[in-house]
Homo-oligomer: A and B are copies of this chain.
Amino acid sequence: MTATHNEMANAIRFLAVDAVQAANSGHPGMPMGMADVATVLYTKFMKFDPRKTKWADRDRFVLSAGHGSMLMYALLYLSGVEDVTMDDLRNFRQMGAKTAGHPEYGHVDGVETTTGPLGQGITTAVGMALAEKMQAARYGKDIVDHYTYVIAGDGCLMEGISQEAISMAGHMKLGKLILMWDDNEICIDGNTNLTLSDDQCARFEASQWHTQKVDGHDPVAIEAALNAARKSDKPSLIACKTTIGYGAPTKAGTHDTHGAPLGADEIKGMREGLGWHSPAFEIPQNVLEAWRSAMARNSADRDAWEGRLNKLDAATKAEFVRTDAGTLPAGWEDTLNAFKKKMAEEPPKLATRQASGKVLEVLTASIPEMIGGSADLTGSVNTKTPSTASILNTDFSGRYLHYGVREHAMSAVMNGLALHGGFIPYSGTFAVFANYMMGGIRLSALMGKRVVYVLTHDSIGLGEDGPTHQPVETLAMLRSMPNFYTMRPCDIVETAECWATALKAEKTPTGMILTRQALTPLRTTHTDENLSAKGAYVLAEAEGGARKVTLMATGSEVEIAMAARATLQSEGVPTAVVSMPCWELFDQQDAAYRASVLGEGTVKVGVEAAMRFGWDQYIGSDGGFVGMTGFGASAPAPELYKHFGITAENVVAQAKARL
| A residues at B contact (CB < 8 Å) | 23, 25-26, 66-67, 93-97, 100-102, 104, 114-119, 154-156, 158-164, 167-168, 170-171, 187-190, 194-200, 202-203, 205-208, 374, 376-380, 390, 402-409, 432-433, 435-436, 438-439, 442-443, 445-446, 463-469, 472-473, 476-477, 479-483, 611-614, 616-618, 620-621, 628-631, 633-636, 639-640, 643
Find the B residue at minimum CB distance from A255: B379
Known: A95-B635, A194-B402, A614-B614. 10 other contacts (CB 8 A): A93-B466, A100-B467, A116-B465, A117-B433, A158-B164, A159-B406, A160-B163, A189-B379, A438-B438, A616-B616
For the complex, what is the distance from the CA of A500 to the CA of B55, rounded to whole Å? Answer: 58
| Cβ contact within 8 Å between A158 and B405 | yes
29 contacts across the A-B interface (CB closer than 8 A): A25-B464, A93-B636, A94-B635, A95-B643, A101-B466, A101-B634, A102-B469, A116-B468, A117-B435, A117-B468, A158-B405, A159-B405, A159-B406, A163-B163, A163-B164, A170-B198, A171-B197, A189-B377, A197-B208, A198-B207, A199-B206, A202-B206, A435-B442, A445-B631, A472-B482, A473-B477, A477-B477, A483-B631, A616-B621
Given contacts A167-B158, A196-B167, contact A404 B187 (CB under 8 A): yes
CB A112 to nearest CB in B, in angstroms, measures 15
Q: How far is the CA of A618 from the CA of B466 in the complex (A)?
A: 32
User: A463 and B195 in contact (CB under 8 A), knowing A202-B206, A406-B160, A613-B480?
Assistant: no
Stoichiometry, as copies per complex, reads 2
Complex: chain B residue closest to A114, CB-CB? B468
> Which B residues are in CB contact (< 8 Å) with A435?
117, 438-439, 442
> How far is it, in angstroms, between the C-alpha of A104 and the C-alpha of B466 when the chains are bound?
9
- Closest approach, in angstroms, between the C-beta of A593 and any C-beta of chain B? 16
Give min CB distance, A378 to chain B, whole Å.
Answer: 5
In the complex, what distance in Å separates the CA atom of A67 from the CA atom of B405?
A: 14
Across the interface, do B101 and A469 meet the contact criterion of CB distance under 8 Å?
A: yes
Contact B476 A480 (CB under 8 A): yes
The 7 closest A-B pairs by CB, nearest first: A160-B160, A163-B163, A116-B468, A476-B480, A195-B404, A100-B634, A202-B206
Q: Which residues of B contact A483 (CB under 8 A)?
A: 630-631
Q: Are A446 and B473 in contact (CB under 8 A)?
A: no
Among residues of B, the one whose C-beta sits closest to the C-beta of A190 is B402
**Contact of A635 (CB < 8 Å), options: B96, B168, B408, B433:** B96
Most buried by B among A96, A116, A203: A203
Among B199, B403, B436, B473, which residue has its beta carbon within 8 angstroms of that of A439? B436
A101's contact among B154, B203, B465, B621, by CB below 8 Å, is which? B465
**Bound Cα distance A155, B195 (Å):** 25
Q: A189-B402, A469-B116 are in contact. Are A376 and B155 (CB under 8 A)?
A: yes
Minimum C-beta distance from A445 to chain B (A) = 8
What is the chain B residue whose CB lies nearest that of A436?
Answer: B439
Query: CA–CA, A170 to B446, complex, Å?
Result: 36
Q: Which residues of B contact A154 (CB under 8 A)?
A: 405
